[in-house]
Amino acid sequence: MALDQIVDGLSEVSCDVLVIGGGTAGPMAALKAKLKNPKANVVLLEKANVKRSGAISMGMDGLNNAVIPGYATPEQYTKEITIANDGIVDQKAVYKYAQNCYKIIEELDSFGIRFLKNENGDYAVKKVHHIGTYVLPMPNGETVKKALYRQLRRARILISNRYMATRLLKSADGRIAGAVSVNTRTAEMLVIKAKAVILCMGAAGRLGLPTSGYMFGTYENAANSGDGYAMAYHAGAALANLECFQINPLIKDYNGPACAYVAGPFGAYTANNEGSRFIECDYWSGQMMLEFYNELLSGKGPVFLQLKHLHPDTISEIESTLHKVERPTRGLFQQGRGVDYRSESIEMHISEIGFCSGHSASGVFVDDNARTTVPGLYAAGDMASVPHNYMLGAFTNGSVAGIDAMEFADNHDFAEFDAADVAMERDRVMAPTRREDGIPPNQIEYKTRRLVNDYLQPPKVTRKYELGMRRLAEAREDMQVRMIARNAHELLRALEVQSIMDCADMAAHASLYREESRWGLYHWRTDFPEKDNENWFCHTLLSKRDGKMTSEKRAVEPYVVPIADDEKDLYDKQRIRASA
């Protein structure tokens, strides 16, 4: 039978711990859960294929936030991340990450992933952040996924590829009971009962529309359509600070990193059309992005990443990393444009908006044990709320989640869910396949994401948001009653559009709730242009209550590492001063 043909089917399996998402955090969570209790069943569910899924599909060029003894301390790192996020940080989780991440680096090293060392055999850590030194290059970074996969096979983790989770199941008393999923090539449905579930489903990277107009030309792996945020939301979990968007400085049109973290330590820098620096620090913060945005609009743009002043050998070294790891088609792209880093600077632009704690501070709310607000439900990686996490944060917090989730599974029996919930979800999932006539998912997706660009991307204007929400509601109506899926692959896209629509609604709702400006460009509200610490020095938590989207304030936990008054605004001073 031909692939993609729709098959009617529903089966049920069970496991102790279900990990959804096999990118970065997921494999580590599954591995740690299994090692904690080798007798338990751990299932790793993946929409694509664990071998090549997620943000690190083609590897990673380095660690952006390595806290390595002798170079940085957990206290210093916690302070830096707190300041970079305008103070809205529960430090306990950041501090725990900073304490644990070195162990994880050593573990990754034992998996065969190499990190750059100097002639003395010490890790060769580089400085990119404003204050501390945390960037560690990975000379064989293209092997990350393969190394992880070997560990998963060795530990006998049950891997189910090409299954997209669609909704979480809960018991009447609110505990997690499992998940519903659908095979992306046959549309057969699979219910997975589990004692604990860990969401590692990546960023919401298909939210804004890239300026190229190519829907899959996103910064994030385009498979990361925000399914985890939507699932957590519909399960009643709280989501934190979603108004703190992800917006990144990227190679124009190519829409991938240039990358300041790779090239910066060698002497490359961001410059305007006059060849002048205009930002103090290339670390991706909201304040830096605001200066980038201002420069583009000032008439001093375009903005470039400047490499050509460097020694040819240095440029070759940077080039070999950029063209081999993470996004290797960068080389092909530059070749097509006739750009040689030795003679020409790299034209940069601003990415579409998304949700991603890897580079910002939003996500499914988790505590320092990666627990969400739903008992038995965990989250880690780009979709969980620990800020500025990057790849090492996904590994480290995935590890925390795996261990804690297995402990939860060891102490709880299966929670009972209502069979009617499965039947209802099956109807929702299959609805687009049961219509004879209607609108294909790609058109609904394009329109939704075009509306996100037109109305939701910063600067955030209240009136525009109100109009945008009306337009999105109309698109949602079309999605719910007219969208069609003619084969299983199109059904996958139809389900993804529903996640994208939910994320767009959440982005709008969360942004309107916080009546101030914060995090530079990420949450710049023109109607409330100032930071308002008196009323808004707090997290915002968005959740579904009685079927409705609601937001509330949550106090920032008392700091573990104190921040002095004169340190608080270090990231606010990103623009280079004209005079001393």
Partner 1 sequence: MPLASYQTSVPVVVDDAKCIADKGCTVCVDVCPLDVLRISDMTNKAYMAYDECWYCMPCEADCPTGAVTVNIPYLLR
**Which residues here bind partner 1, judged by CB under 8 A?**
2-4, 48-49, 51-54, 57-58, 161-162, 184-185, 210, 212-218, 221-223, 253-255, 327-329, 332-333, 336, 437-440, 489, 492-493
Closest approach, Cβ 395 to partner 1, in A, equals 19
For residue 104, how many other CB atoms are within 10 A of its CB?
Answer: 22
Q: Which is nearer to partner 1, 60 or 83 (CB)?
A: 60
Q: Which is nearer to partner 1, 202 or 520 (CB)?
A: 202
Residue of 21, 42, 376, 13 whose CA lies nearest to 163: 21
Q: Which is nearer to partner 1, 160 or 255 (CB)?
A: 255
The CA distance from 41 to 60, in Å, is: 30
Q: Which is nearer to partner 1, 217 or 302 (CB)?
A: 217
Which DSSP string corresponds to 111-152?
A: TT----B-TTSSB--B--SSSS--BEE-TTGGGHHHHHHHHH
Strands 249-251 and 548-555: unpaired
The CA distance from 104 to 151, in Å, is: 14
290 contacts 91 by C-beta, under 8 angstroms = no
Give the type of residue at 128.
V
Q: Which is nearer to partner 1, 216 or 297 (CB)?
A: 216
Closest approach, Cβ 330 to partner 1, in A, equals 10
Q: Which is nearer to partner 1, 53 or 543 (CB)?
A: 53
Report how far apart, in Å, the C-alpha atoms of 46 and of each of 21, 22, 71, 563 are. Answer: 5, 5, 37, 41
Q: Which is nearer to partner 1, 439 or 556 (CB)?
A: 439
Closest approach, Cβ 157 to partner 1, in A, equals 18
Closest approach, Cβ 127 to partner 1, in A, equals 29
Q: What are phi and psi of 18, to 5 degrees?
A: -105, 125
Closest approach, Cβ 491 to partner 1, in A, equals 12
What three-state secondary structure class fits 208? coil
Helices (H) and strands (E) in the chain, counts: 15, 17
- What tokens appear for 333 in the block? 């792209």
Residue of 235, 196, 195, 194 whose CA lies nearest to 12: 194
Q: Which is nearer to partner 1, 88 or 138 (CB)?
A: 138
Closest approach, Cβ 47 to partner 1, in A, equals 8
184 contacts 492 by C-beta, under 8 angstroms = yes
Q: What are phi and psi of 565, to 5 degrees?
A: -55, -40
Helix (H) or strand (E) holding 162: none
Q: Which is nearer to partner 1, 14 or 49 (CB)?
A: 49
For residue 312, how many other CB atoms are within 10 A of its CB?
Answer: 10
Closest approach, Cβ 487 to partner 1, in A, equals 10
Closest approach, Cβ 506 to partner 1, in A, equals 24
Going through 391-454 in order, the beta strands assigned E by DSSP cover: none
Q: Which is nearer to partner 1, 22 or 402 (CB)?
A: 22
Q: Which is nearer to partner 1, 162 or 412 (CB)?
A: 162
Closest approach, Cβ 154 to partner 1, in A, equals 20
Q: What's the residue count for the chain?
A: 580
The CA distance from 26 to 32, in Å, is: 10
What three-state secondary structure class fits 384? strand
- What tokens appear for 383 in the block? 């979709």
Closest approach, Cβ 263 to partner 1, in A, equals 21
Closest approach, Cβ 394 to partner 1, in A, equals 16
